[in-house]
Amino acid sequence: MKKTWICLFMAALVCSASCRSDGAAERLQVIDRSAQKYYRYIEEAMEARQKEDYVSSLNAYMGALAVMPANPKLSYEAARLNALLGRDEEAIRLLDRALSLGYGTAADSDPDFRSLKGLPEFQSIRKKIEWAARPVSKSTPAFTLSEKDLIPEGITYDPVGGAFYLGSTFKCKIIKVTRSGRTQDFTSEKQDGLRTVLGLRVDAGRRVLWANSVVASPPPRGVDSREAGWSAVFKFDLDSGRLIKKYTLHEEGRKHLFNDLVIDSRGRVFITDSVTGSIYVISPDADELRLFLASESFIYPNGIALSPDDRILYVAHLGGMIGIDTETGAYRPLTHPASFTLYGIDGVYWYRNGLIGIQNGLGRVVRLFADHSGLGVDMVEVLEANNPVLDIPTTGVIIGDEFYYIANAALSAFREDGTLAPERLKDIVIMKIVLNHPVSRRFVTDRWIGDVALR
Q: What is the pLDDT of residues 157-192, one digit of tens each?
A: 999 999 999 999 999 999 999 877 789 999 999 999
Q: What is the three-state SS of 242-263?
A: CEEEEEEECECCECCCEEEEEE
CATH (residue range 137-451): 2.120.10.30
pLDDT tens across 2-18, in order? 343 334 334 333 333 23
> What does the pLDDT read at residue 402?
97
- Is there a common fold for 5-132 and 137-451? no
Instruction: State how far the Cα of 212 lies from the Cα of 198, in Å rounded to an integer.
Output: 5
> What are the residue boundaries of the structural domains of the chain, listed by start?
5-132, 137-451
Is pLDDT of 64 > 50?
A: yes
> What does the pLDDT read at residue 129?
95
**Mean pLDDT, residues 42-47 taken together:** 96
Instruction: State how far the Cα of 300 lies from the Cα of 203, in Å rounded to an integer.
Output: 26
Which of 107-116, 143-152, 441-450 shows the lowest mean pLDDT across its residues? 441-450
Instruction: State how far the Cα of 423 lies from the Cα of 60, in Å rounded to an integer.
Output: 35
Measured CA distances, 230 to 211, 288, 426 (Å): 14, 17, 29
Under 8 Å between Cβ of 275 and 255: yes
Instruction: State how far the Cα of 221 lies from the Cα of 446, in Å rounded to an integer.
Output: 49
Compute the CA torsion angle 307, 287, 298, 412 (nearest 10 deg): 90
Is pLDDT of 297 > 90?
A: no
CATH (residue range 5-132): 1.25.40.10
Compute the CA torsion angle 361, 367, 368, 372 (nearest 10 deg): 170
pLDDT tens across 101-145, in order? 999 999 999 999 999 999 999 999 999 999 999 999 999 999 999
